Amino acid sequence: MEKHIPVLLNESIEYLNIKDNGIYVDCTLGRAGHSSEILKKLKDGKLFSIDQDETAILEGTEKLTKISNDFKILEGNFVNISAMLAMQGIFEVDGILYDLGVSSPQFDVAERGFSYRFDGPLDMRMDRANNSLTAHKIVNEYTQEELEQILWNYGDEKFARSIAKNIILSRPINTTFELVSVIKKSLPSKILKQQKHPAKKTFQALRIRVNNEMETLESSLEQSLNLLKPKGRVVVITFHSLEEKVVKNIFKKYTLDEQQFYLSNLPYEIESSKDFKLLFKKPLKPTNTEVENNNRSHSAKLWVIEKK
């Protein structure tokens, strides 16, 4: 199985600005790449690592235990971050990290159904214990209009109508490869000849819908901003334009006064009266070397906001 190489690792740790006695939250434990580095920097501090995937919890715990005991794993969805921390008696923190999306091991296990590269059941749930909505249910039970909207909204798929129509005509569709062949049938040959996999957009769209990713991120980010101590930071690594849009909108809302929304093209800055500031206006991107070594990082962007 492919190893999960953490994306923008040095940059995200640097911008979390870790104090050795601080309290930090990693909302996306995964294989503990980022959590491990945070934990190594703590002396009297504490790390809370969240994940909704039981395999991530098992493997992440094993990895962190080898570093120190200054961590607590919280199993669940980061949409409940405030409540999960409150249960631990924590109401404010020094830094919160999100490394969004699916981890390489999730992608690489055919049975999870995330990947168009492996044949498996149409599942795509990160949280198999609590989420009853699978990709199979969407593909086999939703109306053509609902499917079209999902593919359009979450995959930016120009051929959403044709794919949705063929899905309805090809039911039942049980496996990832069956879905891939329906998608291929629905696309013009010039698109099929492109380097990008023809099923990429549809699979992304289904995954986002199955895991309710956008609404979850929006709500969680707002909670995170309200959990920060002064000088505390939220650091987010995004992988596609929909995630970027959610982060950008919330960060704007919390850093810009109303007039700045309208005057944002002025050549000079107006001091904002808001409680938060952006560390840099445009997100950071990985270096060429990182992209060469880890293909998963090619679309990654790092966003940082600080409580004043």
Ligand X SMILES: C[S@@+](CC[C@H](N)C(=O)[O-])C[C@H]1O[C@@H](n2cnc3c(N)ncnc32)[C@H](O)[C@@H]1O
Tokens standing for residue 152: 């359009």
CA dist 156 and 158 (Å) reads 6
Question: Is 26 a known ligand-binding residue?
Answer: no
Binding ligand X (rule: CB under 6 A), the pick from 17, 140, 216, 272 is 216
Cβ-based nearer residue to ligand X, 35 or 166: 35
Q: Say whether 119 counts as a known binding-site residue.
A: no
- Contact present, 25 and 93 (Cβ < 8 Å): yes
- Decide: 163 and 182 in contact? Cβ < 8 Å: yes
Binding mask 126-165 for ligand X (x = CB under 6 A): x---------------------------------------
Residue closest to 50 by CA, chosen among 31, 71, 77, 70: 77
- Beta carbons of 302 and 281 less than 8 angstroms apart: no
Number of H helices, E strands in the chain: 15, 7
CB-nearer residue toward ligand X: 95 or 101: 101
Query: Which residues are CB-contacts of 37 (< 8 A; sequence separation ≥ 6)?
Result: 6, 9, 13
Determine how β-strand 23-26 pairs with β-strand 46-51.
parallel
Parallel, antiparallel, or unpaired: how do β-strands 228-238 and 301-307 relate? antiparallel
Stretch that binds ligand X, among 23-31, 107-115, 151-159, 227-235 (CB under 6 A): 23-31
Closest CB to ligand X among residues 56, 173: 56
Piece of 66-74, 97-105, 109-117, 178-186 that binds ligand X (CB under 6 A): 97-105
Looking at 96-104, 114-122, 173-181, 243-251, which segment touches ligand X (CB under 6 A)? Answer: 96-104
**Cβ 79 to ligand X, closest distance in Å?**
6
Q: Residue 4 interacts with ligand X (CB under 6 A)?
A: yes
Q: Stretches 46-54, 114-122, 179-187, 253-261: which one binds ligand X (CB under 6 A)?
A: 46-54
Reduce the DSSP state of residue 74 to 3 states and report it: strand
User: Quick one: tokens of 64?
Assistant: 């962190």
Note the residue count of the chain. Answer: 308
The two tokens of residue 31 are 């294989």
- DSSP β-ladder status, 301-307 and 71-75: unpaired
* Beta carbon nearer to ligand X, 208 or 278: 208
Binding residues for ligand X, total number by CB under 6 A: 21
Known binding residue 129? Answer is: no
51 assigned ligand-binding residue: yes
Q: Which is nearer to ligand X, 154 or 159 (CB)?
A: 154
Nearest-10 crossing angle of helices 213-227, 241-255: 30
Contact between 283 and ligand X per CB under 6 A: no
50 lies in the binding site for ligand X (CB under 6 A) = yes
Q: Which amino acid is at 56?
A: A
Is 235 in contact with 12 (CB distance < 8 Å)?
A: yes
Tell me the closest approach of the beta carbon of residue 127 to ligand X, in angstroms: 7
Provide the minimum distance between the beta carbon of 236 and ligand X in the complex, in angstroms, as a whole number: 12
Position 53 contacts ligand X (CB under 6 A): yes
| Feature table: binding site for S-adenosyl-L-methionine | 32-34, 51, 78, 99, 106
Where along the sequence are the contacts to ligand X (CB under 6 A)?
Answer: 4, 6, 28, 30-34, 50-53, 56, 77-79, 99, 101, 103, 126, 216
